[in-house]
Amino acid sequence: MRRYMKIGVFISVCALAVACNTSTDTNTPAQNEPTSDESQQAETETTESDEDKEEASESDAESDNDNEENVESNEDDEVETSNEEPVETEDLAVSEEENIDDEEYTEEQVSGGYLIYTEVLEGQDLVYSFVRTPEDLNVEDRFHQSLMNSDQSQQELFSNVYDFELDGTTANFYYDVNETLSMASSESLIFWSMLDEIGFRFGVEEANLFNQDGERGLQFAENEWNEPIDIENKPNRGYYVLTEETSNDGEPLYISGVVAGEEMNDPNGEAFTFEQTLEAMTTVQENDGLYQTVIYEGLTIQEAEIEDGLATVRYEVTHDEQASDEERIQFEHVLQLAALDFQVNELQLINETDRVISIYPLNELADPSVENEGSGNQSKIEKEDVSDLVYDYIRENDVYDTEEIGMMVEEREGEDHYAVAVGSSTEEKFTTYAWYQVDKETGEVEERE
């Protein structure tokens, strides 16, 4: 239909043109007009030309249709592609970055075990020296060496043993009954305090005193020992370094939070957790320059936790200058001591700045399956044991003849100690000579005013 319409239009145009020529050129000779054969030929050529144009137009249309089909096909492909799950390139990048971070850490296992030496600060207060020994010593050797190097007794009773052994968490001391095994009262108090403090930090729970034949009933420090001796240290949280004093070997000395009088409990009276302990160690109370914190400037502890006998501490150093070797060593020593109060068997220090993980083996005797919140869980002194503690104290200090005195023990509500009246008694009355008090946690005996 489109072809016939175009032919009709063309014929009309031609007729109009002829009419115009006729009206305009009226004087034109007749020979100038086309013959019928010429008109038929022209009409035929015009029809063929129109057919060619129509075919070309149809060809162009078919080409356009093909292009449209191709476009539609491409659009379908795009729709199909859009239905596929998107690739989470951001997550992949994060995952790859995490893998790179993990690979960047350098892990180092600290060789050797630790030794703990004690020295007397003033009165009966002990301070500590902590060292790592490169020697291949087992825990039994290191524990005994720590005691011998700390010994303050005149006869060096930790050294002059007939034999020594560590049986699990029990330390056995064997002495020759032919030796003199006596000590003055002040000397004796320091002796037992050292055994408690060092023993606890090695995981030792009790000690036995035997003669050379392995028999009980040994006469030692003015007492006869027939039962095991419980290792009980003072509950503690945190450590600090003494500012000027050093050990006999030139090593830094560390003072515990309990001796320093630093805060160790939360507002509810509960002992600090490991994380709270390290946070408290970043500052110190006014102490006239006696000691200071080991958390040096620029060091920030990010995280601290204990799980299954493993203590982990993450920290970073933001200071422009590197810490001195002395500051770094003191920081490492104090964190190991703080971890030992929680009876852990390993400490991991993760330096996020240098990407270094340092692994310190600690208490080999600790049982990681037992949840131990530290020395605050030590058993209390029972009331029935108080009289024996006071009798021992009186004998050591030669205050009274123990065969001529009696005692009355009182447990008063709200007090952290037992009150003990010492005197003589008859059927009619009890005459008090003096009052003593016994700490419920430590068993320490003091005479009251």
Candidates 193, 296, 192, 201; CA nearest to 240 is: 296
Select the more confidently predicted residue: 33 or 230.
230
102-129 per-residue burial string, b: 16 or more CB within 10 A, e: under 16: eeeeeeeeeeebbbbbbbebeeebbbbb
Q: Is residue 372 within 8 Å of 366, Cβ to Cβ?
A: yes
Is residue 114 within 8 Å of 362, Cβ to Cβ?
Answer: yes
Q: In 288-332, at which residue ranges do the beta strands (DSSP E only) sit?
A: 291-292, 299-307, 310-317
pLDDT at 56 over 70: no
Rounded to 5 degrees, φ, ψ at 383 are -60, -35
Q: Please report the pLDDT score of residue 399 as a whole number.
A: 81
Write down the pLDDT at residue 24.
41
d(CA 301, CA 279): 8
Please answer whether residues 222 and 183 qualify as being in contact, where contact means their C-beta atoms are separated by less than 8 angstroms.
yes
Outline where DSSP puts E strands in 148-205.
163-167, 170-175
Q: Give the whole-number percent of the chain exceeding pLDDT 90.
A: 47
Range 138-230 has CATH code 3.30.300: yes
Per-residue pLDDT, averaged over 348-367, amounts to 93
Give the residue, 114 or 27, on which the prediction is more confident: 114
- Do β-strands 218-220 and 239-246 pair in parallel, antiparallel, or remain unpaired? unpaired
Cα–Cα distance for residue pair 281/291, rounded to 1 Å: 12
Average pLDDT over residues 67-79: 45
Q: Which residues have CB under 8 Å from 363's CB, separation 6+?
A: 201, 202, 203, 340, 343, 344, 345
- The pTM of this model reads 0.63
Instruction: Provide the pLDDT for residue 87.
Output: 45
pLDDT at 271 over 80: yes
pLDDT at 318: 86
Token pair 């957790």 is at which residue? 273
pLDDT at 370: 56
Q: Of 10-19, 51-60, 178-187, which gets the smallest average pLDDT?
A: 10-19
Q: Residue 46: what pLDDT?
A: 43
List CB contacts of 211: < 8 A, sequence separation 6 or more: 162, 174, 175, 176, 177, 217, 218
Q: Which alpha helices (H) appear in 221-370, and where do they start and end?
A: 257-260, 274-280, 325-340
58-63 contact pairs (CB < 8 A, 24+) = none
Element (H, E) at 435: strand 430-439
The mean pLDDT value for 62-75 works out to: 46
Q: What is the pLDDT of residue 237?
A: 97
3-class DSSP assignment, residue 171:
strand
The top-scoring range by mean pLDDT among 30-44, 68-82, 246-260, 389-403 is 246-260
Report the range of poorest mean pLDDT among 45-49, 155-159, 192-196.
Answer: 45-49
Tell me whether strands 346-351 and 310-317 are parallel, antiparallel or unpaired: parallel
At which residue do the structure tokens 């109060």 appear? 341
Across the chain, what does the average pLDDT equal?
79
In the predicted model, is pLDDT for residue 49 greater than 60?
no
pLDDT higher than 90, residue 38: no
Between 340 and 320, name the one with better pLDDT.
Answer: 340
Q: Where are the domains of the chain?
A: 1-57, 138-230, 239-377, 383-447
For the segment 238-251, what is each residue's pLDDT rounded down to a tens digit?
999 999 888 877 89
